[in-house]
Structure 1
């Protein structure tokens, strides 16, 4: 609408107010619609590429669902040993009754609960006793003599209820054999550390390691149960494990995100208000940004089953680029030119930058990583919506008669000083590029960071405490596993049994301190049938028992349940993994026995691995494989990076095509792209020079910085050689870069390595792109007329 057609000032103000309120109401309605459809996920495997090798597949499965990811280690300290033992027992009983936990161990449990009553007869098939003994009169007589001694000892209360059905105490033999091989010492009936100062417990949760909500609930339940068990004592609880770290990191990330987000919002509002001397500018500038954010969330919610928390957090950081769009519109306003006309004039330049940035993120769709695809959809939808809102909605809210920023005295003085800066020619650009490449290439530290553990924000002392507790409890090594593959469960159980003697020999030689495998709890069907063959029939067993009872103080009729159990075991079908469903034993077996429709894999968890080479050789000899999950994770990261680099190469070609289609003049195209390319090289050189090893998040941040740099160069190019247009472009770019620099400088102070990598990279990129755009793209001003942009 031209000025001659515009309504009166009062009516125009009312119209703008109605439009603003309508826009805000639409945003609130969109938020109301999106909220129930937004299913947040915390599974970091969504940001991992598809596994290409068995080791990588196992790594991803174990990270999310494996028993190691569900294990929490507890230590009680600060009181005398007897008090701590009492509290440990109370804590175990409380947690064992909580459905959020599948296993709670403190050394005081009898192990009887691992076998429900319906499976008790199978003890004769699971125990190794029948491998070396026979249920004849001599063996049963010796066992009854031992029971007489037991009934006169302090363990009589435990033994007496078991005797009618289990005079040979196979249940206790099994419970003892299922104890950890490197279990800690026991004091007052529960586990303690070597110094006898801390009572220890191991807890396994139902919630997977990458279920932050479930892990948070489990941690809270443990804390509540401990508070009840502690009473008025001075004891303290220490917890470690992936779930604890997940909760701690999630809480710290939320706190830092809240702090940084609040500061960002305040700085955004203050800088816009200061730059345009108007309280309306921050409010109007926030509307396209909010529109973009909601559009991104809606797109991901509609296109994916769940929205990852990283997508939301990182996505809002990425569409922070959209804050530049209204700033360019504000800075290019001047009296005599309607906001609509200004938006139309800016749109080709603004649209080119938006399209180029969206194309860069579109390549993430080719990454094969669900999390990056979410991020691409979020960013593209967000940036596109924010740009369209700036073009087609925001002009209707802007005062049609603003003051011209080209008249600001400080801006004129700044431009006069900047005009004295030398322009960077081709030779200078090539020299900078060569120097940056040399620094980045020959810096002493490794170029790429492949160790995922170095990205963890968990404090070093917490990791050290976790290592100490794992050592005290004899928890399995989280790095090494032996794997045995077969066509089905029985095949891998048989292979595990054949490996057992070699594992025991390795333990005796000190190559490994301990091991755990599914066959320890569930023998193969072949082994169970062999043990069945060793059980006497009902008549023979009754005769042997009568002979043994005759020489003891027991009555023969007391052991009728024993006769029934042996006969049930002799005629039963072998026990399978499916039969264990719903039992505590299933938890142990399922963590060491992976099954699908095509194959089965048995895992051997190792503890105290001292000689990987010797263990690997033994594993290979038996058709097994020693997996180094650290090596698997590093190879996964390397393959991920190669795929992403190819995607970025494609993005660079598409970006070049977009800029070429927009400018169509080779000199202009090179001038616009040069600052972005040189800045990318300089940022890499600076990071490498200070010893930073690059990771995935540095690459993603470089894309963001490149998108910002392209915008700066495009708008300096758009200004041409008109002084007033140059001043307006400079004002917009100063405001944009100042806000972006402050936002990402705050991220660079974060204690979260990922946020710190993004913040430092983008902050360096903003500085480099701003300076190089001035040195390369700006043109000398020829005149100072008030021409349209």
Structure 2
């Protein structure tokens, strides 16, 4: 086959990949829910943690600050911002303190105000009370409040709606200047925005973030005002943006480095194309497999999967390095196939164990990686041979490589030194200071310190819920949970008065239990008694007796109505608030309902925990729950890796059948694992899950290096060609993961540093341990 035909076939393969990529893109549905990478919760606290991380009130809040202009201008911008976003479907509510009046009470709930308010819990709706209220209304009509009070009088002479609106205001709220919230110094206008999207939905959070930025730009104009945002949603957008930017420059440098390295290594412009085709085939095979196997594919699976399949670049490189005149490409790849397929099977085994991890994200990663590795191996075995030059220059004749190989041969073979290396690594691991494992998920966030400080400052100023602590009360149903919360309120009020707690919020503040509503109904007078009481109160009043017919109708409607249930709040602004604080089962289980009490400015954790316990509830420490989840997650992964190690050793034994050969292949990989752990712990790094996953990749690379050195046998020419292939493979991998190690994203840094150290150690140890003593024959 002529070079032109080979090039045409390669371009045709590339075109087919582009078409396949388009087709897979039509089927592929990406997900941004990070809970897919969390293990299945085992305890009630862990279950609640996973739910709240995504849908809890604290996770969906954006904390907004406007500064840099006069207070009057900032107040106007705050109102304009709230007005612009009020109809945006990405937001459930926007609060800036401007709706402290009747707007806080939905129109549909106003007839039920006496069931929702506690005003009449300690006094009766009789002639004396009505007389007092009517006297106060007369004074109001002669005051600046007349314009507000007069429209309300016929239906609400006691102004119960205003009392209810005031009761529903946050317990800890900022000061109001010019009608909106400001910080204590009066220099920043403050807003709270709650998104409809879960906190773990970065796509929807990005949409909400962009809408808020756009609305602010329109409201601020050229005033010089500045917008700052904090909260989980804002942080997820920042993390996503930073990750995308770093991925772009890392990907650009990697691509340029890959092309240049292949051009330099093989002195042919076709080499980069030959190297890219199996890699692209692997990526598309992985994407197609997860698109077919899962309803939605997580973005992390795609990004992380492409990083993990970097090992497949080794397959075409070994093939190209071994090709020379006198052997056909098909015979060449057939000779390499035993070593190549052993490496593929062994690496797949490591990821196969993730299918039993109980974590959906790891299952996706396993399907992606296994499919990609198999596709790359088959592409190298059957796709590349017709495309490569059958008689390129023989790399074994390179003077530079021969000189390098002679230098390597002069190196002493390690024997007892390997035992000393292992012992030294164990000593470092045993004596390293600090915890071995990292259980705090917050330390994996790339949010800068100033961002965390802004979040803490705005959260305190706004009285926003604490994201760490929640009070949890359980009931057989929603009403039982509401009743349990009501019983806790007096204790919490006492703690607020003592300064142990700044404030709290619960569903029962907005929706009392059915028992409380019925008790309030029974306290309402009958129509006859209310008309008589109103007539008596109006006896010496200038108000007309027939002016309050709407009031009489509202009271009778409240007295005879069924108690309000959570479902009755649908379509009102209160629905989102109550749903976030009252979690109900879908009816498929007998788990009942959970009432949450969000806390702000918590000062005395023990006092609040005791109050919760006395009321039959518990104070949930989300940090402790997350750490227990991480520990269980790690335990499952470690168990999977232990099984993988045994299966991997069995695979190598079946392939090689000789104890000495098996030891030469497995020993560099095992020692490298110790070296990587020792280096990381020696520098004070606490290990997390991403270090473990990266160790699997490093082990797979080490296994490949050792297998191909073992496969080269004792012929010097084959060993020189293998040295060339392993050099190119290790340099490419080292470039990719060294750049990741420089990332500001902790997760990427963990992966990059682990694999980079592993590549160096694997290369050196495979070279010293796995290669045969060469003869003089080329």
User: Taking structure 1 as the reference length, what is the TM-score of the superposition?
Assistant: 0.97
Q: In the alignment, what sits opposite 2:512?
A: 523
Does structure 1 conserve the Cα–Cα contact (< 8 Å) formed by 2:243 and 2:745? Answer: yes
2:424 equivalent among 432, 435, 438: 435
CA distance in structure 2 between the partners assigned to 1:229 and 1:435 by the alignment: 64
2:570 equivalent among 574, 581, 604: 581
Q: In the alignment, what sits opposite 1:474?
A: 463
* The 10-residue stretch of structure 1 (439-448 or 694-703) with the greater mean CA deviation from structure 2: 439-448
Q: In the alignment, what sits opposite 1:777?
A: 770
Q: In the alignment, what sits opposite 1:727?
A: 720
Does structure 1 conserve the Cα–Cα contact (< 8 Å) formed by 2:58 and 2:466? Answer: no
CA distance in structure 2 between the partners assigned to 1:391 and 1:114 by the alignment: 69
Spell out the pairing of 1:150-549 with structure 2 (5 A cutoff).
Answer: 150-425=140-415, 427-549=416-538
Does structure 2 conserve the Cα–Cα contact (< 8 Å) formed by 1:123 and 1:170? Answer: yes
Q: Secondary structure at the match of 1:424?
A: coil
Q: In the alignment, what sits opposite 1:49?
A: 39
1:21 aligns with 2:11: yes
* The 10-residue stretch of structure 1 (315-324 or 256-265) with the greater mean CA deviation from structure 2: 256-265
Does structure 2 conserve the Cα–Cα contact (< 8 Å) formed by 1:137 and 1:548? Answer: yes
* The 10-residue stretch of structure 1 (666-675 or 150-159) with the greater mean CA deviation from structure 2: 150-159
Q: In the alignment, what sits opposite 1:6?
A: none
Deviations 1:309-364 (A, max 9, x none): 10000000001111111000000011111111000000000110011001101011
* Alpha-carbon distance, 1:264 to partner: 0.8
Q: Secondary structure at the match of 1:483?
A: strand
1:628 aligns with 2:617: no
Q: Secondary structure at the match of 1:395?
A: coil
* Alpha-carbon distance, 1:288 to partner: 0.2
CA distance in structure 2 between the partners assigned to 1:47 and 1:90 by the alignment: 39
Q: In the alignment, what sits opposite 2:49?
A: 59
* Alpha-carbon distance, 1:29 to partner: 2.1
- Specify every segment of 5 or more residues in structure 1 that has no aligned partner in the other structure, as ranges: 1-10
State the Cα RMSD in Å: 1.1
CA distance in structure 2 between the partners assigned to 1:78 and 1:256 by the alignment: 31
* Change beyond 3 A, Cα 1:49–1:156: same
Q: In the alignment, what sits opposite 1:661?
A: 654
CA distance in structure 1 between the partners assigned to 2:75 and 2:61 by the alignment: 21
Does structure 1 conserve the Cα–Cα contact (< 8 Å) formed by 2:432 and 2:684? Answer: yes
Q: In the alignment, what sits opposite 1:7?
A: none
Q: In the alignment, what sits opposite 2:751?
A: 758
Q: Secondary structure at the match of 1:97?
A: coil
User: Taking structure 2 as the reference length, what is the TM-score of the superposition?
Assistant: 0.98
CA distance in structure 2 between the partners assigned to 1:754 and 1:562 by the alignment: 62
Q: Secondary structure at the match of 1:396?
A: coil
* Alpha-carbon distance, 1:466 to partner: 0.7
CA distance in structure 2 between the partners assigned to 1:691 and 1:18 by the alignment: 53
* Alpha-carbon distance, 1:424 to partner: 1.2
Q: In the alignment, what sits opposite 1:146?
A: 136
Q: How many residues align?
A: 774
Deviations 1:521-543 (A, max 9, x none): 10000000000011111111112
Does structure 1 conserve the Cα–Cα contact (< 8 Å) formed by 2:59 and 2:467? Answer: no
Q: In the alignment, what sits opposite 2:699?
A: 706
* Alpha-carbon distance, 1:731 to partner: 0.3
CA distance in structure 1 between the partners assigned to 2:645 and 2:340 by the alignment: 19
Deviations 1:751-776 (A, max 9, x none): 11000000000000000000011111
Does structure 2 conserve the Cα–Cα contact (< 8 Å) formed by 1:115 and 1:583? Answer: no
Q: Secondary structure at the match of 2:115?
A: helix
- Specify every segment of 5 or more residues in structure 2 that has no aligned partner in the other structure, as ranges: none
* Alpha-carbon distance, 1:561 to partner: 0.8
Q: Secondary structure at the match of 2:411?
A: coil
* Alpha-carbon distance, 1:14 to partner: 4.0
